[in-house]
Structure 1
Amino acid sequence: MSSHLKTENHNAAHAVHAHAVAKATLALALACAALAATQARAGTTGSISLTSDYLFRGVSQTNQEPALQGGIEYAHDSGFYVGAWGSNISWLSDTVVVGDDISSSLELDGYLGYRGKAGEIFSYDVGVLTYYYPGDYPSGFNSPNTTEIYLGGTLAPSETVSVGLKYSYAVTDLFGYADSDGSGYIDANLNWTFQPGWTLNLHGGKQWIENNEAFEYTDWKLGVTKTFESGFSVAAAYSDTDAEKALYTNAHNNFLADSAFTLTVSKAF
């Protein structure tokens, strides 16, 4: 999941920030893993998704083009879980300095953690997540690979309403920003099942970036998800940010943190 890209020798902005888990923003499998509101189920689960634009923390990872994504997770009765998730991306190859040779079109994520409950309506989730971007990079390029630890909590006062809060802390440089270890992202989510199979999704988040304050921003999302008994789901969402346009416009002159409408079709298995 990506953010603005920096090399060790360049401070100029060529931003494509951004993160499914995440995800969404990782996509659906990672998002569900990070903010689960119910007791963890033992066994293996997964999903595959097609989305009109891979948005991570409000910023497009695919130059506002579609993405194919998938994830798989194993959860133990004890509450421990481990999983992997992947998506096509283009933010690294789209965000370049003239003369640089960057070739990366895939994001691969791995995570492990523990989920538990405290009482009847509160659940918590703690873990570590690594974002890995295989590819070819020029000499002196600051690696985009990122590791975050996270802590989340969800309050579910009823079967139809849940409120979640999650904080992610980068223990490495954040997605290629120079000297940015210690960066943080906090997001709040409200999910309301207003009709059987229909859920309203509200999200708000804030990204802090150590030693790169100009690139910090907030993002929000309003969406609705329709789930089917077959395991398919369809999600529509409108997202926006207050990111600085000049800092988040890529080499194709696309403002990647602009307001966006996305449509995602997913199949759980």
Structure 2
Amino acid sequence: MKRGMWGTIGGVVLGMATVGAPAVAADAPASTVVGSVAVVNDYLFRGLSQTNWKPAVQPGIEYDHASGWYVGAWGSNISWLSDASTDAAHISSSVELDFYTGYRGSFAGDVSYDVGIYEYYYPGSYPTGFTRPYTTEVYGALGYKGVTLKYSHALTNLFGFTGSKHSAYVDLSYNVEFSPGWTLNLHAGRQKVRHVAGASYSDWKVGVTKAFDHGYSVSLGYYDTNAERSVYTNADGHFVGRATGILTLAKAF
């Protein structure tokens, strides 16, 4: 699952695309379509590997209306569901498709806000009795001068955890340009999984992004979690919450 938001990679890229858009008259704001495609050496969502430490390709597109309303879609290859397959219970899903809509704006000068709903969808076949991983979250965020605090609340079971409705994720991030084209990326998050012993955990990140002309960027980040090995070790015996480095190559359009 994007056992995270398109915010970690895609959001940064879309943000750069929006910043790079042509200026328009103040009394005639333009609606825009922005997007990106990224390649990563490992797809992490909320600190957990979704591809068992293998590369992923991640396209995304978003329509931003002049009013502040937006709608978008994002996708990636994954393996965390098929990794859980057994001879007796086969799971075929290998793709994540995300759909979202919301409203963003600002007030009091430098304070920004963003509210919306996000759907994580995993097409494929599942064995009888398997709790589907499809997840719907509502979210709200406030930002001020590079600092963003975001809260996501699950309206459904969370990524296949039975009985986990109303789980929540809190994300605190700080992104600041410290030199022309260079951005420092800091993040700390807390995933609360309701009614599932040992499934709640924290994750964090330190990274840097270098922006180039024509929408290209390169990001390098160090990620880690305190997730329980007994809960987040896959069928191959790999702990998906271990410390790791992620390299991202992206192109905004």
Q: Same fold (TM over 0.5)?
A: yes
Q: Structure 1 unaligned segments of length 5 or more: list them.
A: 3-17, 157-161
Partners of 1:240 and 1:81 lie apart in 2 by 31
Q: Secondary structure at the match of 1:91?
A: coil
- Asked if the contact 1:30/1:71 (under 8 Å) is kept, the reply is no
Give the superposition deviation at 1:30.
Answer: 7.7
Taking the TM superposition and a 5 Å limit, the aligned residue runs for 1:163-174 are 163-174=147-158
Q: Which consecutive residues of structure 2, in runs of 5 or more, have no partner in the other structure? A: 20-28
Contact in 2 for aligned 1:93/1:103 (Cα 8 Å):
yes
Q: Secondary structure at 2:81's aligned position in 1?
A: helix
For residue 65 of structure 1, the aligned residue among 51, 54, 60 is 54
What is the correspondence of 1:124-203 to structure 2 with a 5 Å cutoff? 124-156=113-145, 162-203=146-187
Which residue does 1:47 correspond to in 2?
36
In the alignment, does 2:17 pair up with 1:28? no
Amino acid paired to 2:93:
S
User: How many Å apart are 1:97 and its aligned residue?
Assistant: 4.8
Deviation string, structure 1 residues 124-165 (Cα, Å, up to 9, x no partner): 000000000000100111110000000001101xxxxx1000
Instruction: Name the counterpart of 1:11.
Output: none
Give how far 1:213 is off: 3.6
- How far residue 28 of structure 1 moved from its aligned partner, in angstroms, is 1.7
Write the deviation string for residues 87-139 of structure 1: whole angstroms up to 9, x where unpaired.
Answer: 00000010235511110100000000000111210000000000000001001
Measured in 2, the distance between the counterparts of 1:141 and 1:252 equals 20
Distance 2:153 2:40 in 1: 27
Larger relative contact order (C-alpha < 8 A, sep ≥ 6)? Answer: 1
Structure 1 residue 214, shift from structure 2 partner = 1.0
Moved more, 125-134 or 208-217: 208-217
Structure 2-normalised TM-score? 0.92
Distance 1:30 1:196, change over 3 A: closer
Partner of 1:159: none
- Residue type of the partner of 2:193? I
Count of aligned pairs: 242
RMSD (Å) for aligned C-alpha atoms? 1.8
TM-score, normalised via structure 1 length: 0.86
